[in-house]
């Protein structure tokens, strides 16, 4: 299995930037995902990294370093609606067309006015 670690909670001010770190250990790395989950709702896909580097999508960016087993999600120009839990997930490829997605415990981000 994987060990996936991310901070439990973070608080930031509206309009600011927050960086959520995720470290992982895995044997058959096949991609890292970030999901957003609002309270009482299902997770929704934010970003995907399989190669080293930065992927940017509007206000959200995600970075991956496979050699360090490290990723971060960067949220810019924070809005109140960004208050949510952010889940780091690592996919392991077991064999052809057979993979498992393992999740970290999630980071609860609270945006304050």
Q: Residue numbers of the site for other proteins (CB under 8 A)? A: 1, 4, 8, 30-31, 33, 41-45, 48, 50, 87, 89, 91, 93, 97-106
Q: CA-CA distance, 87 to 23, in Å (whole number)? A: 12
* Cβ nearer to other proteins, comparing 40 with 81: 40
* Cβ nearer to other proteins, comparing 44 with 65: 44
Closest approach, Cβ 48 to other proteins, in A, equals: 5
Which of 82-104 are b and which e, b meaning 16 or more Cβ less than 10 Å from the residue's Cβ? bbbbbbbbbbbeeeeeeeeeeeb
* Cβ nearer to other proteins, comparing 16 with 101: 101
Closest approach, Cβ 24 to other proteins, in A, equals: 12
Closest approach, Cβ 107 to other proteins, in A, equals: 10
Closest approach, Cβ 29 to other proteins, in A, equals: 13
> Length of the chain in residues, anyone?
113
- Tell me the sheet residues that pair with 42: none
Query: CA dist 24 to 63, 67, 104, Å?
Result: 13, 11, 9
Q: For tokens 């608080």, name the residue.
A: 11
* Cβ nearer to other proteins, comparing 70 with 103: 103
């Amino acid at each position: 299995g994987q060990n996936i670690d991310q901070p439990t909670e973070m608080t930031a001010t509206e309009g600011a930037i927050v960086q959520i770190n995720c470290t992982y250990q895995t044997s058959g790395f096949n991609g890292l995902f970030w999901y957003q989950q609002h309270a009482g709702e299902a997770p929704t896909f934010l970003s995907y990294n399989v190669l080293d580097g930065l992927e940017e999508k509007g206000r959200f960016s995600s970075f991956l370093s496979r050699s360090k087993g490290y990723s971060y999600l960067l949220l810019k120009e924070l809005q109140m609606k960004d208050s949510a839990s952010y889940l780091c997930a690592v996919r392991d490829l077991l064999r052809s067309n057979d993979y498992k997605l393992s999740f970290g415990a999630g980071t609860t981000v609270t945006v304050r006015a």
